[in-house]
Structure 1
Amino acid sequence: MSDLDHTFIDRHPLDGAAEAEYKIGFCLLPEFSSIAFISAIEPLRLANRVLGRKVYDWTCYSEDGEPVVSSAGLSFPVAGNLAEMPHQNILFVCGGLNIKTYTSTGVVASLRKAASRGTAIGAICTATYILAKAGMLSGYRSTIHWENTSGIREEFPNLDITTELFEIDRNRYTCAGGTASLDMMLSLVSVHTSHETALAIAEQLIHHRIRDGHERQRMELRARLGISHPKLLAAISCMEENLEEPLSCSDLASNVNLSTRQLERLFQKYLHRSPTRYYLGLRLDRARYLLTQTSLPIIEVALACGFVSASHFSKCHREHFGHTPSEERKLPH
């Protein structure tokens, strides 16, 4: 039996009668990210082991009290339904794919009830969307998986949504998912116990460095694209920062101190396409995220991605992806 399997069967190798200092609940939503969830609970288990006492107790819930299947197709048992959850110090909602589908009135009501009883509220991966929908992020910094950043900003323009790895703002805890939940929990352990304890846990997990919340979610462009030319990278970065109001090719070239012809040659040499075609691809990729992750009207998606009309957007989308924006929304994601 693997160590991870042991976590679910015998959660606490210490005295079961001992009272934990912190009780943490996890609400598992269908299609949640199993790696983000596991990365969140393993530091808690190891904190108990390293310190030799029960600092943390954790319990899993679902909306209906039934087992939940993750995005990887794994079924996870739960202790009960969210509406009947006893008081917890922190409640984390664990999201993943198709988060809008699982943003139910029942989950939202249970979150509000827990918060009213003094429970701190957190979100892992895409579950930040549910906290936003529940009106629980107003006045707080929060973050979400990078694929969903543009969508949640469009739908909730008044919220302070960052691109950080994780955000801990008073009694709200959010992270980007994946292994970001590991670093967020290590940060919590450091506050609750000591930095030395967090380091010992990281070493047990063969996690060579505890990442700060301010670190970026995505790889550097250089690593992502396998390109090292500084001016080409600067031009692409400029494109990514200006998707709603696209810059002309001449403006892009001027921003990186190149002529238009020099910029075109760089794109052809390293990316085998023109700057205009590459830029269009970035805008259409963002549009795809907005179509699948928000309920924004197609015209608003078009305008948010720099298209002057819905018809022009639809034409470009069909040529690039092989189907229209409205058809995109009907496809499984």
Structure 2
Amino acid sequence: MVHHWSKDAWASVPSTEPIMVALYLAPGFELLALSSVLDVFRLANQAARREAFRWRTVSHLGEAVRASCGIVVAADADLAQERRYVMQPERPVLALVCGDEPDEGRETKVLSAWLRECRQRRIGTGGFGSGVAALAKAGLLNDRRCAVHWEAMPAFKERFMRTDAAATVYEVDNDIWSCAGGTASFDMMIELVKQYCGEPIAVSVGELAVAGRVRMGDERQRLPLLRQHGRLNPTVVKLIELMERNLDASLTMADLAAAAGLSRRQVERLFRADLGRSPCRYFRELRLEHAKLLLAQSALPVLEIAIACGFISASHFSKCFRETHQIAPREARTLPAERL
């Protein structure tokens, strides 16, 4: 996780003054992410016994916005008013984007303009889940590291090639906050509280929220099959990470054994004990899952997807894909994303 703190971003906020946070809501935003953020702020105020944080919700025209779960949330201001705040004492210290506007619409252009104005005025910016794409569209993530939800990662990397996207819980790079959404929003805002209010207040927020554990930003979002199989052996985790970094390569059992510093037989035993399958079979499952996401999210030809997922030919890829998913790759592409 990268931390490059700009002193200018916080210098204008005395320690006794509350931080103002503006939260932009786009249609279909994730309610869990928003509620996690607001509850961290509320609990931080309670733990600090003062108003450490203030916040306001913003939408394009000031209208109420419907979340992905169907609940409608009122907005306190429209984006035109929020853009005027950038030049006034009411300006936020941090601007967060919850959800992403549709491409090529006026909403996207205005949102991008606001985010760039915030950067020019040394206002911190951030995004949750699909809101990270809004930061990328505005050009804020060029040559920056950001956290992207694992499921959206293939399409995000294809579209925003200048970003250093990671499947970590959250990232903070040059006052740009990004996270995968969901409960990762809670973890990231705990870090914000820690930076502004100190570690004791951040710990108190976790206790008040009955959080069993607050994750660090550079932790992995996901370990496949972890729920089914419990705690994995650290060597297995290490080798899974190696596989995920080399989905387009041909990792052999010799490569895995060398990386683990074990014999091939020992690596085989660890995988069968923890995951009930051989390393080679598990590696193929990871490749096919990555291929499925690329088919659903991108327009790449099947041959390019096969190569990107480490298969020697389109025919070999199609055979493996059909065996696993009972459907050919070209047929899978015609299905709605949620069915695939």
TM-score, normalised by the number of residues in structure 1: 0.77
Instruction: Work out which of the residue numbers 37, 48, 51 in structure 1 matches 2:48.
Output: 51
In the TM superposition, what is the alpha-carbon distance from 1:100 to its structure 2 partner? Answer: 8.6
Instruction: Work out which of the residue numbers 245, 248, 269 in structure 2 matches 1:244.
Output: 248
Q: Distance in 2 between matches of 1:277 and 1:103?
A: 42
1:247/1:51 CA distance change after superposition, 3 Å: closer
Q: Deviations over 1:27-78 (max 9, x none)?
A: 2233322222111111112223333443322122234544333333322222
User: Counterpart amino acid of 1:28?
Assistant: L
User: Counterpart amino acid of 2:336?
Assistant: L
Q: Residue 147 of structure 1: SS of its match in structure 2?
A: coil
State the partner residue of 2:13. Answer: none
In the TM superposition, what is the alpha-carbon distance from 1:210 to its structure 2 partner? Answer: 4.1
Q: Distance in 2 between matches of 1:178 and 1:306?
A: 31
In the TM superposition, what is the alpha-carbon distance from 1:83 to its structure 2 partner? Answer: 4.4
Greater mean deviation of Cα atoms: 120-129 or 238-247:
238-247
Q: Residue 181 of structure 2: SS of its match in structure 1?
A: coil
Conservation of the 8 A alpha-carbon contact between 1:100 and 1:293: no
Q: Residue 288 of structure 1: SS of its match in structure 2?
A: helix
User: Counterpart amino acid of 1:307?
Assistant: F
Conservation of the 8 A alpha-carbon contact between 1:227 and 1:233: no
How do 1:225-264 and structure 2 match up within 5 A? 225-226=229-230, 235-249=239-253, 251-252=255-256, 256=260, 257-259=262-264
Q: Residue 152 of structure 2: SS of its match in structure 1?
A: helix
Conservation of the 8 A alpha-carbon contact between 2:101 and 2:107: no
In the TM superposition, what is the alpha-carbon distance from 1:111 to its structure 2 partner? Answer: 3.0
State the partner residue of 1:113. Answer: 114
State the partner residue of 2:98. Answer: 94
Q: Distance in 1 between matches of 2:35 and 2:189?
A: 11
How do 1:182-261 and structure 2 match up within 5 A? 182-219=186-223, 225-226=229-230, 235-249=239-253, 251-252=255-256, 256=260, 257-259=262-264
User: Counterpart amino acid of 1:258?
Assistant: S
Q: Distance in 2 between matches of 1:231 and 1:316?
A: 27
State the partner residue of 2:141. Answer: 137
Is residue 39 of structure 1 aligned with residue 44 of structure 2?
no
Q: Distance in 2 between matches of 1:139 and 1:276?
A: 34
Conservation of the 8 A alpha-carbon contact between 1:28 and 1:62: yes
Q: Distance in 1 between matches of 2:231 and 2:187?
A: 29
1:267/1:29 CA distance change after superposition, 3 Å: same
State the partner residue of 1:162. Answer: 166
Q: Distance in 1 between matches of 2:106 and 2:319?
A: 37
Q: Distance in 1 between matches of 2:323 and 2:222?
A: 28
In the TM superposition, what is the alpha-carbon distance from 1:26 to its structure 2 partner? Answer: 1.4
Q: Deviations over 1:220-246 (max 9, x none)?
A: 976664475676666544433321112
Conservation of the 8 A alpha-carbon contact between 2:23 and 2:95: yes
Q: Distance in 2 between matches of 1:266 and 1:211?
A: 26
1:268/1:115 CA distance change after superposition, 3 Å: closer
Q: Deviations over 1:94-148 (max 9, x none)?
A: 23xxx69568552343233343242322011232222122211123222122333
Greater mean deviation of Cα atoms: 131-140 or 36-45:
131-140
Conservation of the 8 A alpha-carbon contact between 1:29 and 1:102: no
Q: Residue 287 of structure 2: SS of its match in structure 1?
A: helix
User: Counterpart amino acid of 1:153?
Assistant: K
Which structure 1 residue ranges, 5 or more long, are not aligned?
A: 1-18
Which structure 2 residue ranges, 5 or more long, are not aligned?
A: 1-15, 87-91
Conservation of the 8 A alpha-carbon contact between 1:175 and 1:181: yes
Is residue 328 of structure 1 aligned with residue 333 of structure 2?
yes
TM-score, normalised by the number of residues in structure 2: 0.75
Conservation of the 8 A alpha-carbon contact between 1:235 and 1:253: no
1:300/1:37 CA distance change after superposition, 3 Å: farther
User: Counterpart amino acid of 1:59?
Assistant: R
Q: Residue 290 of structure 2: SS of its match in structure 1?
A: helix
Q: Distance in 2 between matches of 1:328 and 1:90?
A: 40
User: Counterpart amino acid of 1:51?
Assistant: A
Q: Distance in 1 between matches of 2:203 and 2:236?
A: 39
